[in-house]
Amino acid sequence: MNRLPRISIVLLLWLLCTVPAMSIQRFPPPEFETDHTIPTATQPSARSVGFEILDVAVLTAALSLASWLVLKKRSRRWIVVLMLFSLVYFGFWRKGCICSIGAIGNVTLAIFDSNYAIPWVMLLFFFLPLLFTLFFGRSFCAAVCPLGAVQDVVLLRPLEIVPWLETTLRLLAWLYLSVAVLLAATGSAFVICRYDPFVAFFRFSANPAIWIISFSMLIIAIFVGRPYCRFLCPYGLILRQVGRISKFRVTITPDECIHCRLCEGACPFGAIEKPTVEWPRTEYPRGRRRLITLICLLPVFIAAGIWIGHALHPKLAANHPVVQLAQRVKLEQTGVHLETIDMSKAFYSSGQTLEHLYASADQVSSQFALGSAIMGGFLGLVIGGTLLTHSIFWKRAEYEAHRAGCVACGRCYNYCPRHRKWLKDKKV
């Protein structure tokens, strides 16, 4: 209903913008003696809003269906079918252009830049999977995300990754997420989109460097289960944390665990955890000491992070176009570079002053100084926290899918004898 006033405001703004432009004397085209009329250029419109509603509807349906398949139907086969559908729809048909992972950048920019209003479709693509994860676990990763689907279908010879390596590599995702948020918040770049490793396949085009990344990731994904999801994906990382407190979750067995150990090697993503044995009594004092040491060390980790982050801020700031331009122009002004490039040529022809350019670059740099320090401190906290959580004894009585690590692919179901019995019972 509030559409009309909005349109009129847009129209008014448009008129205000064009009135001064029209008052400028533009030299008219010739007046023809023949009745030739001067054409106007066509302006083909963008993809209609209807398609966007379809995108959101498909996302919601896929998430619901995935949650049902994972938790109620417990069928790996149908999960694969849905996964392939998502791969085709969100991947090849929509060319990875509407993507929850990339939406992190938009959401961040919308928070930090008051001039940027996030499109509602993007917002829903960011929040709907989070909401579903809060209720049903990572069903998005299971069968809706096209990037996850690519990796899942090529996983042929999974290698086991030792837990310490898994934990360490996951820190990469924290780093990636932090850098992505920092660069998006400063309006520098949407790195998650820029380095998307599978979008090249969806579009059948990319620059050579991205092709190399894409193919390497694909080859690695043959041997390492979902390497992007586990060790890099920033959105997966957020979903992991939400998954920890989800209302429902994947259970390997539909009812009870009989400790048959058949599922032990079932998970290619290392997300099945064995029941724990009690620590020997002698372990406790050591464990406690370690815990206390680590808690004391936590501020040190954070401080080190802040220091390193701050020290690295010039490198990070160099991703901002204004800083890039200022650096280049400075090098040309000081005679290091004798030739101008397109970027500096454009600057010189714009008539802007050097002082203005340097001042705005400095302003961006100071934003980065603060942002990088916060980022470094956060990463310090993450590293310290990771060490801490691995020094705490978690008690488990049965074989469990790890709440955070499980991507709900459904592979383990068929390994469980209780599941097979449950299937048989269901048929009868």
Partner 1 sequence: MEKQTPDNLPRRRFLREGLWTGALAALGAACAVLLAKGRRQKYVWQIDPLKCIGCGNCATHCVLNESAVKCVHAYAMCGYCDLCTGYFIPEPKELTTAAENQLCPTGAIIRTFVEDPYFEYTIDEPLCVGCGKCVVGCNAFGNGSLFLQVRHDRCVNCNECAIAVACPSQAFKRVPIETPYIMKDA
Partner 2 sequence: MKKRIGKIQSGVLTGLVLAVAIGAGVAAFLLFDTSGTKSTLPPEYKYEIEQYAKIDPALIIYEQVGDPIETDFDTACAITLDDAGNMVIAGDSKLVKYDLAGKPLNEIELPKEPTCIEFDLDGNLIVGMSNVIMILDPQGNTVQEWSAPTAVSLQTSIAADKDHVFAADALNKLVWCYDREGNVVNKLGAKDPDRNIPGIVIPSAYFDIATYPDGLLRVVNPGRHWIEAYTTDGDREWYWGRAGVDIEGFSGCCNPVALAVLPDGGFVTAEKGLVRVKVYDADGEFVGVVAGPDQLGWIEPLRVCKTPEECKAKGFDVAVDKAGRIYVLDTLRNVVRIFERNKSAAARAAR
Q: Which of 2, 6, 27, 256 binds partner 2 (CB under 8 A)?
A: 27
Using CB under 8 A as the binding rule, whether residue 21 contacts partner 2 is answered as yes
Span from 213-221, 301-309, 386-394, 419-427 in contact with partner 2 (CB under 8 A)? 213-221
Q: Which of 26, 36, 247, 356 binds partner 2 (CB under 8 A)?
A: 26
Q: Which does 95 bind (CB under 5 to 8 A by kind): partner 2, partner 1, none?
A: partner 1
Cα-based torsion angle of the residue sequence 410, 140, 135, 169 in order, rounded to the nearest 10 degrees: 80
Rounded Cα distance, 91 and 201, in Å: 9
In whole angstroms, the minimum distance from the beta carbon of 398 to partner 2 comes to 21
Q: Which does 158 bind (CB under 5 to 8 A by kind): partner 2, partner 1, none?
A: partner 2
Using CB under 8 A as the binding rule, whether residue 346 contacts partner 2 is answered as yes
Residue placing its CB nearer to partner 2 in the complex, 155 or 242: 155
Q: Which does 103 bind (CB under 5 to 8 A by kind): partner 1, partner 2, none?
A: partner 1
Site string for partner 2, 291-330 (x = CB under 8 A): ---------------------------------x---x--
Q: Which does 208 bind (CB under 5 to 8 A by kind): partner 2, partner 1, none?
A: partner 2
Distances from the Cα of 394 to the Cαs of 231, 291, 388, in angstroms?
Answer: 23, 14, 12
In whole angstroms, the minimum distance from the beta carbon of 6 to partner 1 comes to 8
Using CB under 8 A as the binding rule, whether residue 212 contacts partner 2 is answered as yes
Q: Which does 32 bind (CB under 5 to 8 A by kind): partner 2, partner 1, none?
A: partner 1
Q: Which does 105 bind (CB under 5 to 8 A by kind): partner 1, partner 2, none?
A: partner 1
Q: Which does 290 bind (CB under 5 to 8 A by kind): partner 1, partner 2, none?
A: none
Q: Which does 89 bind (CB under 5 to 8 A by kind): partner 1, partner 2, none?
A: none
Using CB under 8 A as the binding rule, whether residue 203 contacts partner 2 is answered as no
Q: Which of 56, 210, 262, 369 binds partner 2 (CB under 8 A)?
A: 210
Using CB under 8 A as the binding rule, whether residue 290 contacts partner 2 is answered as no
In whole angstroms, the minimum distance from the beta carbon of 124 to partner 1 comes to 8
- Asked if 411 and 76 touch (Cβ cutoff 8 Å), the reply is yes
Q: How many residues bind partner 2 (CB under 8 A)?
A: 39
Q: Which of 5, 28, 50, 280 binds partner 2 (CB under 8 A)?
A: 28
Interface with partner 2 by CB under 8 A: which residues?
A: 21, 24-28, 157-159, 194, 207-210, 212-213, 215-217, 219-220, 223-224, 265-266, 268, 324, 328, 341-343, 345-351, 411
